Amino acid sequence: MRIAFAALAFVLLAATSASANEVISTEKAKIKVETFADGLENPWGLVFLPDGRALVTERDGRLRIVSSKGKLSAPLSGVPKVDTRGQGGLLDVAIDPDFAENKFVYLSFAELGDGGTNSTAVARGMLTATGLVDVKIIFSQVPKVVSTLHFGSRIVFDDAGHMFISLGERSKSEFRGQAQDRGSDLGKVVRLNRDGTIPDDNPYVGKQGMRPEIWSYGHRNQQGAAMNPWTHELWTNEHGPRGGDEINIVKAGQNYGWPVVSYGINYDGTPVGKGKKTGPGFTDPIHYWVPSIGVSGMAFYASDTILEWKGDLFVGGMAIPKLVRLELDDDRIVHEEALLSELGSRIRTIAQGPDGAIYLLTDDGEDRILRVSAAE
């Protein structure tokens, strides 16, 4: 997942109310930013279909098709019931690596349990002209707890067809320590087969007291994930508390430290753990932000369409609204450029389209899909 990343000096308009139909000069490329689709409400996930259309989720439980011209469909049927409290709802959407043959679509969402509890779950169904059919829940995070925060969650497939799901630790002090407990799914990345069964080579298969679906642990709230198309490794980003947003290269059996170590501090100003940024047995992030930018969607750019950006990693900012372009040298981030800050738009999700443009979901009250392309 790495190549050199260029920093992006965005020159937008003067005001935060800047238009989203502008030509912008950046450090390495001249780009055009335009509204591709609007009329959305709290969009969260975006994935392109082989025919050039896209699927988009809205947190209230709506799944829509976006035409190649940016027209939104009516909500599709078959979406599982979601718990919309707090940060929950309908979250990510992904398609099967063999979608052209099997039409499988995967949805992550907040699933309601007994007594007001909930957790992150993933369902799979077949896409038809009007919705999903044969929908089955193939993963449900354990345990369910009483919280409306930190669900994660992104769905990513590797070249072998394994499915990775990024999971939050549910935020509250009484739960967050379970990010270090391999008998709990809180604060983990899990790795599954596409039908929800567990691969035999997961690191904790057959180990007493440990959940076999777990791939890595010690995570806080991972809202961005992408497979590096060059190294074929999973990269994720996760929210820190006050400071300490991270990018991690996620590997089997590794411990990423939360809530024992962090580059941030608690919201009340107290140290996280004993105030250490790192320590023995923990895998450090390859990049972090202080103050936090509120990381969300993440995507590697692998197209020649904006050639100057090929090989770069893009991350969305929510707390500090912007698109971040990161230049890579193998597994190192060597340069950072802030883009589109003048739009004032919280960037929830990033996807490379079949046309080589970059598509952005904004979640800021003027919710839309932006298209970023090379300016002529």
The 10s digit of each residue's pLDDT in 182-197 is 999 999 999 999 999 9
Laid out side by side, the sheet with 90-95 consists of 90-95, 104-112, 118-127, 132-140
CA 227, CA 334: separation in Å to the nearest integer?
19
With a pLDDT cut of 90, the percent of the chain lying above it is 93
Residue 161, pLDDT > 50, answer: yes
- Give the domain ranges of the chain: 36-290
Distance of alpha carbon 59 from alpha carbon 71, whole angstroms: 19
User: Residue 360 burial (CB < 10 Å; 0-12/13-18/19+)?
Assistant: buried
Instruction: Give the pLDDT score at 12.
Output: 33
Burial (CB count <10 Å: 0-12, 13-18, 19+), residue 324: buried
Q: Is 232 one of the annotated active-site residues of the chain?
A: no
Q: Which two tokens stand for residue 229?
A: 């198309």
362: number of CA atoms within 13 Å, CB side? 27
Q: What is the pLDDT of residue 10?
A: 32
User: Rounded CA gap, 353 and 191, in Å?
Assistant: 26
| pLDDT classification of 345: cutoffs 50, 70, 90 | very high
Q: What is the pTM of this model?
A: 0.94
Measure Cα distances from 49 to 56, 134, 241, 242 in Å: 11, 19, 35, 37
Tokens representing 334 are 């060597």
Q: Per residue in 272-330, pLDDT tens?
A: 999 999 999 999 999 999 999 999 999 999 999 999 999 999 999 999 999 999 999 99
Going by pLDDT thresholds of 50, 70 and 90, the confidence category of residue 19 is: low
Q: What pLDDT does residue 20 have?
A: 64
Q: Are 73 and 119 in contact (CB under 8 A)?
A: no
150, 162, 239, 287: the catalytic one is: 150
Yes or no: is domain 36-290 CATH 2.120.10.30?
yes
- Per-residue pLDDT tens digits for 81-97: 999 999 999 999 999 99
Whether the pLDDT of residue 242 is over 90: the answer is: yes
Report which of 70, 74, 73, 124 is spatially closest to residue 99, judged by C-alpha positions.
Answer: 124
User: pLDDT at position 5, please?
Assistant: 32
pLDDT value at residue 21: 79
Over range 124-142, report the average pLDDT. Answer: 97
